[in-house]
Amino acid sequence: MRRLLIASLALIACGGAAPAIESTSPDPKSDEGKMARALKGLTPGKPVNCISQFRPSYNTQTIGDTILYRVNNRLVYRNDTTGGCSATPGSDTLIVRNFGSQLCRGNIIRSKPVAARSAPSSPTPRRSEMRTLLMLTALALPLAAATASPPGPSALDRTRDREAQDLAKALEGRVPGKSEKCYFPTRAAAPPEIIGTRTIIYRQSGKRIWVNTLREECRWLRGDRTLVFETLGSQVCRGERIGVRPSGSPVTAGYCFFGDFTPYDRVTKP
């Protein structure tokens, strides 16, 4: 059986948890009927705080106080909003104020009437043509699955597993020491190794490597990227900015910030 997934953003606005879908057939013109039709054949899963790799191109549907983000035919995110909830279903444009590639709890969504996009300018303040809306105070995105069997791992899960395996392989046979604020790279040291979007490894010598876990996920970071360090001395320290460039490009795609540096030494055999 082909799997269907739905992610539900529960508890985002207007008073509480997502309404349950009744087992009886509701009026197809009511919000309950529209919701039942949109989520037909799907069951909610475990809530999470963010939609990873959020894209504005997601098909958005407003049903009452609920917003559905349809990624594709197999994945939908559901959000029951908190706040003004004054969007007009089917006629308002939802404007998501998010930073980066995730839509998370605490982000703000506004709705703008479609007509306002093409209307001539007027002295009316821009703020007045926006209908306040939706502060994402409790993003809960239960990933739903068909009742036949649990869903397999997503592409993101597989990527995370591969990154965890790469890191475990790099640290095999080593034990961590006390984390330090700064690291002094030597000219003889190998170029830094990138694992995933948050880990950079420096190989100081055959016995010691340094692992830096960035302050937060850095979506520009990849294994084939070039790192540009913005430091004034011979050391790199926590909180300093790193530029990330595509291989062979002089243009910086984005910036990341160092976290603490943790040394890992090989276990000495007795």
Give the tens place of pLDDT for each residue, 76-104: 777 777 655 555 555 555 555 554 556 67
Pick from 46, 207, 233, 70: which is nearest to 139 by CA? 46
The answer on pLDDT for 226 being more than 80 is yes
222, 196 contact by CB (below 8 A): no
Mean per-residue pLDDT, 193-208: 86
Q: What's the chain's average pLDDT?
A: 70
Q: How confident is the model at residue 30 (pLDDT cuts 50, 70, 90)?
A: confident
The answer on pLDDT for 54 being more than 60 is no
Whole-number percent of the chain with pLDDT over 90:
15
Q: How confident is the model at residue 157 (pLDDT cuts 50, 70, 90)?
A: confident
Plot region of 222 (φ>0 → left; ψ -120 to 50 → alpha; else → beta): beta
Contacts of 163 (CB under 8 A, 6+ apart): 195, 196, 199
**pLDDT at residue 139, as a whole number:** 42
The answer on pLDDT for 114 being more than 60 is no
Q: C-alpha dihedral over 245, 246, 251, 257, to 10 degrees?
A: -20
Give the DSSP letter of residue 156.
H
Rounded Cα distance between 95 and 204, Å, is 47
**pLDDT at residue 141, as a whole number:** 44
**pLDDT at residue 176, as a whole number:** 92
User: pLDDT: is 36 or 205 the higher one?
Assistant: 36
User: Rg of the chain over CA atoms, in angstroms?
Assistant: 24
